[in-house]
Amino acid sequence: MTTGDAAVKVRDVSHQFGEPGDPQFVRALLDTNLDITRGELLCLIGPSGCGKSTLLNMIGGLLAPSAGTVEVNNKLVRAPLPRDIAFVFQENALFPWCTVIENVKLGMVFQGVPKSEQDARAKKSLEAVGLKDFMNHYPAQLSGGMRQRAALARALSLETSILLMDEPFGALDEQTRMILGEDLSVLLAATGKTIVFVTHSLGEAVFLADRVAVFSARPGHIKEIIAVDEPHPRKPSFVTTEKFGKLRNTLYGLLHDEIRKAVEQSAMAGPGS
C-alpha cells in the first residue's frame, strides 16, 4: 500500500493524559504510525487501556495528539470533520422521545444537511440496516440489536467516507453480535466505506477485518498488523474454516502476554486507577 491509497495517515502519534509527576499521569499511546486504506475495515484490538479508543478519537478529531499528526483524506485533523467522518459508539445514544427516523434525521441536522434531503436519506439508511418497517417506533420498543442498527443508520445517513466504530456491539449478546457483524460485512461490500472498528473480541476482529492492528499494553503501540485475506461480504461459514481458526489463534498468541502486562499494571496502580 502506498500513502496515496490511504484515507487515514497516522504519523509518530503519542498521547498522554496529564503531566509527568501528576498522580493521574498516564502515557496512553507511544510513537504510533499507521496507514488505513480507502475502503478497508481495520480492527484495533489490544488490552484495556492500550490506547485503541484514544487513537480512534484522535482520528475523529475529538482529541488532539500530544505529539505527531493525523491526516484524514489528506487534511490535517485539528477538530472534528463531520463531512468526512461519522461515529458509532457502544452506547447507541438515541433520544428516547424521538422515533427511529427522527433520531436518524438528527445526525443530518447537526451536519447541516438540507431538510429537503433528510427524509429520503434517513429512509435509505434505515432500509440498509433492515429497519425500514420500524422507522416510526421509539427506541424503547426496539431490542438492543435494533437500537444499535438505528445508530448505524444515523451514521450511514451522513454519507461520510469514513466510519469510526468504538466497540459498537460490545453490550450485545454473542448471537446478536454475530448477526450484526454479518450485516456490517455486507454493508462494507455495498458502500466501500473506510471503517475503523475497536473491539476486544478476537472472533469479531477476524470475521470483520481486512486487517487487524494488534496493540501492546500501555503505553500502547502497534505490535503487529495481521491481514485477513477473505472477501466481503463474509459468509457465516467462514467462522468454521481452518483459516479463521488459525487467524484467531495468531491474535491470541500476540495478545496473551500483552494482556498479562496490562493486568499487572492495573494491580500495581492499585484501586481507583
Per-residue confidence (pLDDT) for residue 243, from 0 to 100? 97
Q: Which of 113, 133, 159 is the last residue of a domain?
A: 159
Q: Same domain, yes or no, for 27 and 148?
A: no
Give the C-alpha separation, 147 to 116, whole Å: 25
Q: Same domain, yes or no, for 70 and 198?
A: yes
Q: Same domain, yes or no, for 165 and 262?
A: yes
Q: Same domain, yes or no, for 9 and 22?
A: yes
Name the domain count of the chain. 2
**Is the pLDDT reported for residue 261 higher than 90?**
no
Please report, rounded to a whole number, the percentage of residues in the chain having pLDDT higher than 70.
Answer: 96
For all residues of the chain together, what is the average pLDDT?
A: 90
Give the C-alpha separation, 136 to 99, whole Å: 5
Least confident of 12-26, 43-57, 119-133, 204-218: 12-26
Q: Same domain, yes or no, for 183 and 203?
A: yes
Q: Same domain, yes or no, for 133 and 225?
A: no
**Is the pLDDT reported for residue 270 higher than 60?**
no
**Is the pLDDT reported for residue 269 higher than 90?**
no
Q: Same domain, yes or no, for 98 and 180?
A: no
Which phi and psi (to 5°) does residue 70 adopt? -125, 130
Q: Same domain, yes or no, for 109 and 244?
A: no
Q: What is the β-pairing status of strands 162-166 and 194-198?
A: parallel
pLDDT tens, 154-166? 999 999 999 999 9
Per-residue confidence (pLDDT) for residue 162, from 0 to 100? 96
Q: How confident is the model at residue 266 (pLDDT cuts 50, 70, 90)?
A: low
Angle CA 115–117–121, to nearest 5 = 125
Quote helix, strand, coil % in the chain, to nearest 5.
Answer: 40, 25, 35
Q: What is the mean pLDDT of residues 137-142?
A: 96
Give the C-alpha separation, 134 to 23, whole Å: 49
Q: What CATH number has the domain bearing residue 248?
A: 3.40.50.300
Q: What is the mean pLDDT of residues 99-117?
A: 93
Q: Which of 141, 159, 177 is the last residue of a domain?
A: 159
Per-residue confidence (pLDDT) for residue 168, from 0 to 100? 86
**Is the pLDDT reported for residue 209 higher than 90?**
yes
Q: Which of 144, 159, 174 is the last residue of a domain?
A: 159
Give the C-alpha separation, 223 to 258, whole Å: 10
Q: Same domain, yes or no, for 118 and 169?
A: no
Q: Same domain, yes or no, for 136 and 197?
A: no
Task: Identify the domain containing residue 16 by its residue range.
Answer: 3-84+160-269
Q: What is the mean pLDDT of residues 14-37?
A: 89
Per-residue confidence (pLDDT) for residue 4, from 0 to 100? 53
**Is the pLDDT reported for residue 271 higher than 50?**
no
Helices (H), 73-201: 100-111, 115-128, 144-157, 174-191
pTM of structure: 0.90
Q: Same domain, yes or no, for 194 and 114?
A: no
pLDDT tens, 172-196? 888 888 888 898 898 888 888 999 9
Per-residue confidence (pLDDT) for residue 272, from 0 to 100? 36
Please report, rounded to a whole number, the percentage of residues in the chain having pLDDT higher than 90.
Answer: 70
Of 55-64, 105-114, 143-152, the range with the highest mean pLDDT is 55-64
Q: Same domain, yes or no, for 135 and 233?
A: no
